A and B are shown apart, each in its own frame.
Chain A
Amino acid sequence: MRPRTPFRNGIDAQELLFGLFLVALSGVAFWQTSRLAAGTAADMGPGFVPRVIAWTILGFGAFFVLRAGILPRRALPAISLRPLVAVLGAVATFALVLPALGLVAASLAAILIGGAAAPGGRLLGTLLFAAVLTALTVLLFVTALSLPVAIWPW
């Protein structure tokens, strides 16, 4: 087998990003477990396993970062921000609006914001769809299943 020089062929972006993610994750784990007692393998403290896991994750991270240099160049698949932002935005809005203004407002907001993930569609149709879906949601979850949640802000 011919030895390959790292990073000569460019970088495998997928491997690199996954590796960096793991390194960052291990960092968070080390930070969060820094004050826990580790103990020994036979008499473990609460910090023992988390730290072993964090070290393992760091090891995997390093492995993938290095391998990213050895593997042939590969770009990340295209990322289109609009759907991602709309989906996450819909969820975040729902979480923020629900406790403050109730289920109806939260549902309408989530449907309209989430719906923006896909371009096109007429405004009136979208509004009508959101209204019908919200009504169904309230009937289903609150009326039929008595989910304990406020419907209206008042």
Chain B
Amino acid sequence: MELLGNLAFGLATAMQPSNLMFCFTGALIGTLVGVLPGLGPMTTVALLLPFTFGLTPEAALIMLAGIFYGAQYGGSTTAILVNMPGETSSVVTCLDGYQLARKGRAGPALAMAAIASFFAGTVATLVIALLSGPMAALALKFTAAEYFSLLIVGLIAAVVLAHGSAVKAVAMIVIGVLLGLVGIDVNSGVPRMTFGLPELADGIGFVPVVMGLFGLAEIASNLEKPQDRTLLTQKITGLMPTGRDLRQGFPAMLRGTVLGSLLGVLPGGGAALPPFAAYALEKRVARDPSRFGKGAIEGVAGPEAANNAGAQTSFIPMLTLGIPSNPLMALMIGALMIQGIQPGPQIMTEQPALFWGVVASMWTGNLMLLVINLPLIGLWVSMLKIPYRMLFPAIILFCCIGAYSVNNSVFDIWVMLGSALIGYFFIKVGVEPAPLVLGFVLGPMLEENFRRAMMIADGDLAVFVTRPISAALLAVAVALLVALVSPSLRRKREVAFAE
């Protein structure tokens, strides 16, 4: 019960009125900034970092955690309302959230996202309190071979994302991989497909690509239908989820939380995998998979839960090992170091108030989010009633600024423009861009880890099956592949017979 004692100790820190206030302020500002298109958690935290300089280390980290959760939730809000993802996870939220919004059900979608986030956040907080030791150990079991096998599973699961043709989905994944390969090759240091542009040396920016591909392309396509005065296709019906929504959403939340907690802890692949995997899982277990992509509430609840749980467990490597699992955590470590704290294995023993205070504040942060956002839903939904001719120029402008703000680079605005053009083309030829995003994120990591594993093992392919975790993951991949191929084979045969 020592751990629960620690958690209570942490809660005492987090619940101090001043810390509670910092948490609230952080979550509020984070939500308001994160809701702007293009300003994902990374940019939001970077922009707001200076506001925490004058605070004590605990207060600073608590406020930053609040900003982070707020920004993440703000990002989902934009994804649901205007199909504008600001990070990997909200790409998935777009798929069904935006469709719900167009049907006048933005309120339930937003509320579901908030509830799923809170639920996942609560569970993940307990997971961190009870299991951070073993989970950090798990993270250290993952070497290049294991990452390779995990990424294979992820890419196969990506095929499930598409609700149209599976062949087209695979083609889109491959396009994504190609785009992801642009930039300096980690293993050889050679620039690839950069057209000699130094701006492409670090690869094509993720945020401008998804904003162009999803958001701007959608705007151009929406404006072709002059009859739409607003984004809505149907009247707004209720702001809160119905009993049926909750019944459908709850199991999805549960599965998403488990999946997210596990995948989030892995440095590197963590951030991208949980929401995609959760979506694929929901679609797989659904009685009627055809509802997905047309406004299925589980398609919001599962990924949002997975994302939030994953976001939270990604703190584990940072807090217990001092190793950032993604650029955002690197920024958090920077914030700690500015406060004069060196993150690392010693932080739990040397700074228990900080460690447990932060863990507990994750929970209070999620609570604040619920408190702030449930009342705000009415406001967000009413934004959909703004005439579209006023809304879209503002969105275009914010996208431009958002794309610029990621790296303070005009080049990223041009990347967004190119992506918008390609996204528009994809809409016209009837292919979905979501699988592309997963290929874009995971493809290069797949190559990097494969080649690294080969380099270390002197070109011996056996490493992938002799290491137990890697072998198990590959077995999962094969099983997924079989499950994926067999029903479609059957369907094809049925179609053939029908003709």
Check whether chain A touches chain B (CB < 8 angstroms).
Answer: yes
Bound CA–CA A98/B412 (angstroms): 13
Give the chain A neighbours of B338 by CB distance below 8 A: none
Q: Among residues 211 to 231 in chain B, which have CB atoms less than 8 Å away from a CB atom of chain A?
A: 216, 219-224, 226
Verify if A95 is at the interface (C-beta below 8 Å from B). yes
Verify if B367 is at the interface (C-beta below 8 Å from A). no
> Is there an interface contact between B50 and A146, defined as CB atoms closer than 8 Å?
yes
Q: How many residues of B contact A (CB 8 A)?
A: 67
Bound CA–CA A141/B288 (angstroms): 45
> Is there an interface contact between A22 and B178, defined as CB atoms closer than 8 Å?
no
> Is there an interface contact between A44 and B425, defined as CB atoms closer than 8 Å?
no
A111-B47 contact in complex given A22-B171, A25-B175, C-beta closer than 8 Å: no
Give the chain A neighbours of B190 by CB distance below 8 A: 36, 46
> Is there an interface contact between B417 and A14, defined as CB atoms closer than 8 Å?
no
Bound CA–CA A30/B394 (angstroms): 40
B249 to chain A, nearest CB (A): 33
* Interface SS of A by simple majority: helix
Bound CA–CA A147/B168 (angstroms): 40
> Is there an interface contact between B394 and A25, defined as CB atoms closer than 8 Å?
no
Q: Which of B50, B401, B451 contacts A44 (CB 8 A)?
A: B451
User: 1/0 per position for A21-50, CB-CB distance to B under 8 A?
Assistant: 110010011001100100000111111011
Bound CA–CA A75/B1 (angstroms): 67
Verify if A10 is at the interface (C-beta below 8 Å from B). no
> Is there an interface contact between B178 and A25, defined as CB atoms closer than 8 Å?
yes
> Is there an interface contact between B396 and A114, defined as CB atoms closer than 8 Å?
yes
> Is there an interface contact between B47 and A145, defined as CB atoms closer than 8 Å?
yes
> Is there an interface contact between B401 and A141, defined as CB atoms closer than 8 Å?
yes
> Is there an interface contact between A83 and B220, defined as CB atoms closer than 8 Å?
yes
Give the chain A neighbours of B192 by CB distance below 8 A: 32-33, 36, 46-47, 50
Give the chain B neighbours of A64 by CB distance below 8 A: 171
A21-B174 contact in complex given A32-B193, A42-B454, C-beta closer than 8 Å: no
Q: Among residues 116 to 147 in chain A, which have CB atoms less than 8 Å away from a CB atom of chain B?
A: 117-121, 129-130, 133, 137, 140-141, 145-147
A50-B397 contact in complex given A33-B192, A91-B417, A146-B50, C-beta closer than 8 Å: no
Bound CA–CA A100/B312 (angstroms): 42
A114-B171 contact in complex given A32-B195, A87-B216, A98-B404, C-beta closer than 8 Å: no
> Is there an interface contact between A114 and B389, defined as CB atoms closer than 8 Å?
no
Give the chain B neighbours of A119 by CB distance below 8 A: 226
> Is there an interface contact between B394 and A133, defined as CB atoms closer than 8 Å?
yes
Q: Among residues 150 to 195 in chain B, which have CB atoms less than 8 Å away from a CB atom of chain A?
A: 167-168, 170-171, 174-175, 177-178, 181, 185, 187-188, 190, 192-195
Q: Which of B175, B221, B410, B454 contacts A95 (CB 8 A)?
A: B410
Verify if B480 is at the interface (C-beta below 8 Å from A). no
A149 to chain B, nearest CB (A): 7
A63-B167 contact in complex given A1-B496, A36-B190, A110-B400, C-beta closer than 8 Å: yes
* Interface SS of B by simple majority: helix
Verify if A65 is at the interface (C-beta below 8 Å from B). no
Bound CA–CA A137/B193 (angstroms): 36
Give the chain B neighbours of A15 by CB distance below 8 A: 429
A137-B401 contact in complex given A32-B193, A91-B396, C-beta closer than 8 Å: yes
Give the chain A neighbours of B404 by CB distance below 8 A: 98, 149
A88-B417 contact in complex given A1-B496, A32-B193, A46-B190, C-beta closer than 8 Å: yes
Verify if B271 is at the interface (C-beta below 8 Å from A). no
Q: Among residues 391 to 405 in chain B, which have CB atoms less than 8 Å away from a CB atom of chain A?
A: 392-394, 396-401, 404-405
Of B177, B220, B413, B416, the most chain A CB neighbours within 10 A belong to B220
Verify if A72 is at the interface (C-beta below 8 Å from B). no
> Is there an interface contact between A17 and B429, defined as CB atoms closer than 8 Å?
yes
Give the chain B neighbours of A118 by CB distance below 8 A: 223, 226, 388-389, 392
Bound CA–CA A95/B181 (angstroms): 25
Chain A residue with Cβ nearest B190: A46
Give the chain B neighbours of A91 by CB distance below 8 A: 216, 396, 399-400, 413, 416-417, 420
Verify if A56 is at the interface (C-beta below 8 Å from B). yes
Bound CA–CA A77/B390 (angstroms): 26
Given contacts A14-B429, A84-B220, A92-B417, 10 further A-B contacts (CB under 8 A): A50-B181, A57-B175, A86-B223, A87-B219, A106-B400, A137-B401, A145-B33, A145-B47, A145-B48, A148-B408
What are 13 A-B interface contacts by the 8 Å CB criterion?
Answer: A29-B178, A43-B459, A50-B178, A53-B178, A54-B178, A56-B174, A60-B167, A91-B400, A94-B397, A114-B396, A114-B397, A118-B388, A133-B397
Binding site for B on A (CB under 8 A): 1-2, 14-15, 17-18, 21-22, 25, 28-29, 32-33, 36, 42-47, 49-50, 53-54, 56-57, 60, 63-64, 76-80, 82-84, 86-88, 90-92, 94-95, 98-99, 103, 106-107, 110-111, 114-115, 117-121, 129-130, 133, 137, 140-141, 145-149
